[in-house]
Amino acid sequence: MVVEGRTLTLRTRYWGLLAVAIVVMTACGDNPLASLGGRSSGWINEPEVTTTTRPQVDLPTTIEFTDLKWFNDGIVTGDLLDPTQVVANVFARREGDRFIQASPFEIATVVPGLVFPTVAPHSAEWVSSQLVIENNGRLSAQPTAAFGIWSAVPYTRSRTVAQMAILQVAIDPETAAEVILPEADLSCARFAEDTTEECSVLTIDDKTVWRLASRSGITLVWFEGANRYELFGRIFVPSAVLEEMAGSTVPLTEILVPGSTSSVPAS
């Protein structure tokens, strides 16, 4: 009986505590557990995600051509007033290739009226210059002069890496006269090659410019005076930079170092 009495006493206490709990919960409202899940969010701070918008910086894509160094600027030449003698002097230093290193002053004498871009691709530092002379000592017409634009001292690194662009100038008065005729054929077929993958005809600074794209880069072709200009930029040179170069040409003598062109005939 003692055991049974103790059991009854425990049961009585249990049911009493349960009844008290029910009364307390009822006093708290119709749904006393409704805020149970929301309490944690009331004191745990949610992380704030801060987004920062950086202002877009337009990096330069070109530099002034006057900032470049001419690789052959120091070549000593004779009389620059006689184009025939200049060609002979250049031919005398030939080392096997018909593309012969020549100073820009010699080129300005031999190819009067030659124009040159006033800007170059950003990161360019040097310009190489050559006259093209055939085996018989006569000046070539296709092309006549060539210029390389380099990001390093010319010929010290691979052309595919350091030679950013190449400008070739050809004396081509017949085609130059033809393309300005009203009925002239200005289609891409005139200059497209087997490697050309895309071709279009542009107008840049009132000049008709043929744009030829290949896997290795982009070539722009245009005429000024009797000369044909072909500007090739490697695949890493933006087309917009080449187009800016084609649209910003001035006589070569205006780009040469002041005072150094006094003996160069005016174009």
User: In three state form, how does the secondary structure of the chain look?
Assistant: CHHHHHHHHHHHHHHHHHHHHHHHHHHCCCCCCCCCCCHHHHHCCCCCCCCCCCCCCCCCCEEEHHHCEECCCCCCCCCCCCHHHHHHHHHHCCCCCCEEECCHHHHHHHCCCCEEECEEECCCCEEEEEEEECCCCCECCCCCEEEEEECCCCCCCCHHHHEEEEEEEEECHHHHHHCCCCCCCCCHHHCCCCCCCEEEEEEECCEEEEEEECCCEEEEEEEECCEEEEEEEECCCCHHHHHHHHCCEEEHHHCCCCCCCCCCCCC
What is the rounded CA–CA span in Å between residue 144 and residue 140? 5
pLDDT number for residue 34: 44
Residue 238 tokens, joined: 């933006």
What is the Cα–Cα distance from 178 to 82, expressed in whole angstroms? 30
Q: Are strands 198-204 and 217-224 parallel, antiparallel or unpaired?
A: unpaired
Facing residues of 139 across strands?
A: 133
| pLDDT of 77 | 75
- CA atoms of 264 and 238, how far apart (whole Å): 34
Omega cis (within 30) before 143: yes
Q: What is the largest CA-CA distance in the chain?
A: 141
> pLDDT digit string (tens) for 157-208?
999 999 999 999 999 999 999 999 999 989 888 898 888 999 999 999 999 9
Residue ranges of the chain with per-residue pLDDT less than 50: 1-8, 10, 14-15, 18, 20-28, 31-52, 258-267
Of all residues in the chain, the percent with pLDDT exceeding 90 is 60
Residue 179 pLDDT = 92
Between strands 115-117 and 145-150, the pairing is unpaired
By the 10 Å C-beta count (0-12 exposed, 13-18 middle, 19+ buried), 143 is classed as: buried
Work out the end-to-end distance of the chain between its first and last CA atoms, rounded to an integer number of angstroms.
Answer: 134
Output the pLDDT for position 4: 47
